[in-house]
Amino acid sequence: MVKKGLFITFEGIDGCGKSSQIDLAAEYLKAQGIDFIKTRDPGGTPLGCKIREILLNYDGHVAPMCELFLYLADRAQHIEEKILPALNEGKIVLCDRYVDSTIAYQGYARGLDKEQILELNNIVAKGLMPDLTFVFDVSLEVSASRLGDKKDRMESECCEFHKKVREGYLDLAKKFPERIKVINADRGIEEIHKNVVDIVCDLYK
């Protein structure tokens, strides 16, 4: 695997505001004339969109292992078709979720073995890890108020599930402080954006 670009991932519980932040980060890079792509996991490719549809909207029981392998299947396609080619061309890749979502959601919250998830992810991702990861941290109350009434399959999980996801992210950030930066996302959107830009500029210079 050759890799010249920079791989930056945006993470957090549902309703944390990361999607607005990735859009603002993309606008910033565009204004600076920096070559980048913005993508998402799951659903960053045409095949991935079909997998995302199953993951978020299937209305029957989904076995946790099946869920895990669907996220990983999406990622395998995403990496080969989109992420690695962009990195190899020297671009910045802004990705809405990646492996930390899998560890937080399927590991910490769903209860699957975290080491095993990492091993499987390593096979799928050919060892590709982000250079920088933002975890947008908000309270469950704030995230719930942002989600509205129409929730997908994952958003509809109980409060305890989302609490475990949040704790999972904070735990991961403690384990990998060099890579994972926790951003207090209870603040105004522009203030958070400035925080993100400062950290990206530090890494890019």
Residues in contact with ligand TMP by the rule CB under 6 A: 14, 40-42, 71, 96-97, 101-102, 105-106, 154-155
Q: For the packed helices 159-175 and 140-147, what is the interaxial angle rounded to 10 degrees?
A: 120
CB of 3 to ligand TMP, least distance (A): 20
Question: Toward ligand TMP, which CB reaches closer, 90 or 156?
Answer: 156
106 near 71, Cβ under 8 Å?
yes
Which of 175, 205 has the CB closer to ligand TMP? 175
- The CB-of-174 to ligand TMP minimum distance in angstroms stands at 20
Q: Which is nearer to ligand TMP, 50 or 201 (CB)?
A: 50
Task: Compute the distance between CA of residue 172 and CA of residue 161 in angstroms, rounded to an integer.
Answer: 16
Q: Which is nearer to ligand TMP, 45 or 101 (CB)?
A: 101
Q: How far is the CB of 41 from ligand TMP (least distance, A)?
A: 4
Nearer to ligand TMP, 14 or 137 (CB): 14
**Which residues are bridge partners to 135 per DSSP?**
11, 182
Give the residue from 8, 18, 9 showing the smallest Cα distance to 138.
18
Nearer to ligand TMP by Cβ, of 105 and 134: the residue is: 105
φ, ψ of residue 38 in degrees (nearest 5): -115, 130
Retrieve residue 74's tokens.
Answer: 């999406």
- Bridge partners (DSSP) of residue 11 are 135
Q: How many other CB atoms are found less than 10 A from the CB of residue 27?
A: 12
- Longest Cα–Cα distance of the chain, Å, equals 48
- CB 79 to ligand TMP: min, Å: 12
The least CB distance from residue 189 to ligand TMP, in Å, is 17
Rounded to a whole number of angstroms, the minimum distance from the CB of residue 147 to ligand TMP is 10
Q: Where are the beta strands (DSSP E) in 13-119?
A: 36-40, 92-96
Alpha-carbon gap, residue 166 to 139, rounded angstroms: 9
